[in-house]
Amino acid sequence: MSGLDALSRGDLLELAPVLRRAVTLDAAGLARLRASEHQVAVLVRLPFGVLVARTVAVERAGNVFDVTVRASDMLAWLDGEVTVAPEPRDAEWRTSLPPASGWRRIDTVPDEVARGLVRAGAQTLKDAAERAGVPGAQPRAEVADALLDSVVLTVSAPGGELATPVTLRALSALTRMGFLTRGSHVAVDVAGRWIRLAAEFGSVYSERPGLGLALR
């Protein structure tokens, strides 16, 4: 029993869009599902180095559990392609996790600001590829990584406290996963070395520049 067996597919259908986008990026990726009494959260590490998460409420109380499965298997179960809940793969999860509590809100950013920064970053990536003589393609991996890791926004709490860098990588993940709605805001939260970008349909977690998502 993985704990998923205590819930119906209908309880978790709102997780399907996140899993679908994640599987498109990495067909072999893992999804970690963590359930409290009336909520289930899914966390997925994207291939470009950030964690994304979505939490949904469940109407009926389920077992408290923490299980890792293959994202594509979970999606197949939610889509009704298979009738048995996915097999646990807990030993395959190697990414550290952000804390469940202790978050402090630093500021909020309008969605048009976030989208503008992502569009500018995409144009920079395109220009880099064209300078390398491969228009329409991706720039070299090291160039793309440097651009994605660049800090495109710094937010601070009132009084200038806790200056928090936001990278193009994290903002790109937020828009790529469809978490950000038009006319909304992105909340920038911190807890220790972790930074969270929280939007209406999900959150992106990253560690401060220079601190990768470590193995444990």
pLDDT tens digits, the chain, 216 residues: what are they? 567 877 778 889 999 999 999 999 999 999 999 988 789 999 999 988 899 999 998 876 567 889 999 999 999 999 999 988 899 999 999 889 999 899 999 999 999 999 999 999 988 888 877 776 666 566 677 877 888 889 999 999 887 777 899 999 999 999 999 999 999 999 999 999 999 999 999 999 998 865 554 433
Which pLDDT score, from 0 to 100, does residue 133 have? 64
**Domain spans of the chain, in order of start:** 4-92, 104-207
Structure-token match 């409290």, residue found: 36
The confidence score (pLDDT) of residue 213 equals 47
The count of other CB atoms within 10 Å of the CB of residue 83 is: 7
Encoded tokens for 56: 């949904």
How are strands ordered across the β-sheet holding 104-110? Answer: 65-70, 30-35, 39-45, 51-57, 202-207, 194-199, 185-191, 104-110
Residue 90 gets which letter from DSSP? G
**Integer Rg of the chain from CA:** 18
Q: For the domain 4-92, what is the CATH superfamily, name and number?
A: DNA Polymerase III, subunit A, domain 2 (3.10.150.10)
Helix/strand/coil percentages in the chain, nearest 5: 30, 30, 35
Cα-flanking dihedrals φ and ψ of residue 78, to 5°?
-65, -35
For helices 141-148 and 111-131, the axis angle rounded to 10 degrees is: 160
Nearest-CA neighbor of 175 among 111, 97, 107, 128?
A: 111
Dihedrals phi, psi of 49, to nearest 5 degrees: 90, 25
- Rounded to 5°, the CA angle 212-205-125 comes to 70
Task: Please report the pLDDT score of residue 51 as a whole number.
Answer: 96
